[in-house]
Amino acid sequence: DTEVTQTPKHLVMGMTNKKSLKCEQHMGHRAMYWYKQKAKKPPELMFVYSYEKLSINESVPSRFSPECPNSSLLNLHLHALQPEDSALYLCASSQGGTSEMSQETQYFGPGTRLLVL
Amino acid sequence: GENVEQHPSTLSVQEGDSAVIKCTYSDSASNYFPWYKQELGKGPQLIIDIRSNVGEKKDQRIAVTLNKTAKHFSLHITETQPEDSAVYFCAATPYDKIIFGKGTRLHILP
């Protein structure tokens, strides 16, 4: 099973709402990632978790709050977002445990398309 | 800083013909070069990758070549089919980062 699942598929929220995006994988991977992708652009890395610990935060605004409850789950909590945060949010996972995780194959989920009004 | 240039941004080829997408990277620390295909409404999916200890890798109709000296790598798709229509991203991985190219939108014409 090489599947990464994400819920919800679509999300519309107002600037005062609080919502969460969820990601799950059952490949036994120990590294999980959040990316943001705007239309016609490549994915931009937001956060990396390694063995359930936050290892990389690419200077993402605090209105995005990641959480890794266990090795299979990754959440992204959203609060007080801006319209420019509207994008496709992608989760990915890789095996983990190597000294340079970037050298590992990453498996992406289908993404959550977020619209902030 | 690290940079990956990808060309062309759009490519239209007749069904059955070959398609070639080229990428160059700036940081010689990169040792792993994945290629991702992204169809409309889906997340990127790895289609092939190459590590710096080999110069070429092939998987059925897809091949990737790597020239570390020149810092460029290319994706070759032969006998293109309608289902090859998608956006393709190359990537380089210097140190603990993954740097994507800007993508190539491939159209397969009937």
The pLDDT tens digits for B44-92 are: 999 999 998 889 999 999 999 999 999 999 999 999 999 999 999 999 9
Comparing A103 with B68, the larger pLDDT belongs to B68
Distance CA B37, CA B43 (A): 8
B42 contact A CB<8A: yes
Distance CA A36, CA B108 (A): 28
Position B11 scores a pLDDT of: 98
Distance CA B2, CA A59 (A): 17
Position A104 scores a pLDDT of: 86
A62 contact B CB<8A: no
Distance CA B14, CA A61 (A): 45
Question: At B97, is the pLDDT very low, low, confident or very high (cuts 50, 70, 90)?
Answer: confident
Q: Which of A27-36, A38-47, A89-98, B97-106 has the lowest mean pLDDT?
A: A89-98
Q: Residue A27 carries which side chain, given as an amino acid letter?
A: M
Would you call B25 exposed, middle or buried from its count of C-beta atoms within 10 A (0-12, 13-18, 19+)? Answer: buried
Torsion of CA A11, A12, A13, A15, to 10 degrees: 120
Does the pLDDT of residue B13 top 80, yes or no? yes
Is B32–A45 a contact, with Cβ atoms under 8 angstroms apart? no
When computed from its CA atoms, the radius of gyration of chain B, rounded to whole angstroms, is: 13
- pLDDT tens string A52-80: 888 888 889 999 999 999 999 999 999 99
CB distance B92 to B30 below 8 Å = yes
CB neighbour list of residue A99: distance below 8 Å, 6 or more residues apart: none
Distance CA B89, CA A35 (A): 14
Does the pLDDT of residue B12 top 90, yes or no? yes
Position A2 scores a pLDDT of: 65
Distance CA B33, CA B93 (A): 7
Question: At B28, is the pLDDT very low, low, confident or very high (cuts 50, 70, 90)?
Answer: confident
Q: Which residues of A24-62 are buried (b: 16+ CB within 10 A; e: fewer)?
A: bbeeebbbbbbbbbeeeebbebbbbbbeeeeebeeebee
Position B89 scores a pLDDT of: 98
For residue A106, the chain B residue with the least C-alpha distance is B46
Q: Residue B101 carries which side chain, given as an amino acid letter?
A: G
Q: Chain B residues with CB inside 8 Å of A107's CB?
A: 46
User: Which among B46, B95, B103 has the least Cβ separation from residue A100?
Assistant: B95
Question: At A1, is the pLDDT very low, low, confident or very high (cuts 50, 70, 90)?
Answer: low
Position B66 scores a pLDDT of: 96
Position B27 scores a pLDDT of: 86
